[in-house]
Amino acid sequence: MKIKMIKNYSNGTWKVKTGDEFKVRKLNREGIFMDQHPEFQIIESPMSGIIIPYHYAVLLPEERTYTVAEYSQLREINDQVQRQRDKAIDDLAQHAGTLVQIQQELVQERESKKVLVPREVADALDLYVSDGHDDDAKGWALFNIIKCKYDDLDIPARLIKNHFGMNYFALASVIVNSYTVEQTPEEQFTEGITNICARFDDEHPDDVEYEELVSFAFEISDFVQKHNKS
């Protein structure tokens, strides 16, 4: 067994410092058979034979020793556990990537089902079937727009009825799949120019090569011409 000193100790000849560790054996104090606080006798040189009082040290946990075969088996088990852990991490990362991909596909699918409407119609729809309304309110709004006469509707509802006409399926799709705003020509133009210019966001004008500027100018010109034709 081993002890660790928790206080300095001296027997007049030897001094033992706090933190020192020694191999020892227990010694029951004289006249005490079942000693709960035995002394410790150091059994390793150069201090072999020195008696350490019980309250000057603490017993350290027993160190487990292994045979070569046991150690090899433990190493093999440890390596196997690490391989299983690494595989689990890889599998988790793969599954996480799959989930992200599925989520992206679902988002794309949901976005693709949204009904494209002009901005003024979208503003009107916001009053009746936006996410802030419950299903009952949306259903009643749809029913009224379809069944009521044009003159009996308020102006926003008239815009909706006039846009969808008899295409009740598209109008119902707005309730189920929501809607997205159709960009105006001005918005399309602004977005296109912004995307072309984005490549130079992090560059100083003095760092741009002449060939890049020429290519940029031609791309802007080509985009403007296509936009004007549309």
Q: Which two tokens stand for residue 1?
A: 């067994």
Contact 13, 23 (CB under 8 A): no
Predicted local distance difference test score (pLDDT) of residue 83: 92
Tell the residue number behind the tokens 């799959």, with chain if given: 98
pLDDT at residue 6 above 90? yes
pTM recorded for the entire structure: 0.38
DSSP, collapsed to helix, strand or coil, labels residue 222 as helix
- Give the pLDDT mean for 38-48: 87
pLDDT 10s digits, 116-152: 888 888 888 888 877 677 878 888 888 888 888 989 8
Percent of the chain exceeding pLDDT 70 equals: 93
pLDDT at residue 216 above 90? no
Q: What is the DSSP string of 126-158?
A: HTTSSTTS-HHHHHHHHHHHHHS-GGGS-HHHH
* Mean of the per-residue pLDDT values of the chain: 83
pLDDT at residue 8 above 90? yes
Contact 178, 112 (CB under 8 A): no
pLDDT at residue 63 above 80? no
Predicted local distance difference test score (pLDDT) of residue 229: 67
Strand partners, 179: 115
pLDDT at residue 18 above 90? yes
